[in-house]
């Protein structure tokens, strides 16, 4: 019996891509805890950015809100809004990861490259979103 291939709707592709991006963000941050001295710095209250720890954590949480919500929003928002948000945030989060390559640890660089590829795919799928329902 031959395998059957199906057309996957753009919304589902975007949903899956944002979910994958989030997994890489989470695992990258988790694995980063194993870097030499990382836990010691955290226990001493040292933050990756200068400033009030509450403010820094609020800022970091704010950055993670968008990719955390985008799987859901990609499925439920009207097409034009979803398309625009995916193009915009896909591009923004690609740039964020390019800037975030401060760590020389190989796992972080590998995850960062994959995250950039995924977010650029988000931009591509949203940009080329078919206008006809039969071409989805």
pLDDT attached to residue 103 = 66
pLDDT attached to residue 128 = 97
Q: What is the pTM of this model?
A: 0.86
* Dist. CA 90–CA 21, nearest whole Å: 10
pLDDT digits (tens, 9 = 90+) for 79-88: 999 999 999 9
* Dist. CA 54–CA 84, nearest whole Å: 32
CA atoms within 13 A of residue 5's CA, in its CB half-sphere: 1
| Residue at token pair 């403010």 | 55
pLDDT digits (tens, 9 = 90+) for 25-77: 999 888 888 888 877 877 777 666 666 777 878 888 999 999 999 999 999 99
Report the 10 Å Cβ neighbour count for 23. 14
């Amino acid at each position: 019996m031959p395998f059957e291939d199906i057309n996957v709707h753009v919304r589902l592709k975007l949903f899956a891509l944002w979910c994958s991006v989030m997994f890489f963000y989470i695992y990258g941050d988790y694995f980063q805890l194993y870097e030499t001295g990382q836990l010691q710095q955290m226990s001493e209250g040292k933050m990756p950015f200068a400033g009030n720890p509450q403010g820094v954590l609020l800022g970091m949480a704010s950055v993670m809100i968008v990719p955390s919500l985008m799987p859901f929003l990609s499925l439920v928002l009207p097409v034009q809004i979803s398309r625009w948000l995916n193009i915009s945030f896909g591009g923004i989060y690609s740039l964020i990861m390019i800037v975030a390559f401060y760590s020389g640890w190989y796992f972080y660089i590998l995850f960062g490259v994959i995250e950039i590829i995924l977010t650029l795919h988000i931009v591509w799928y949203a940009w080329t979103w078919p206008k006809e329902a039969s071409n989805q």
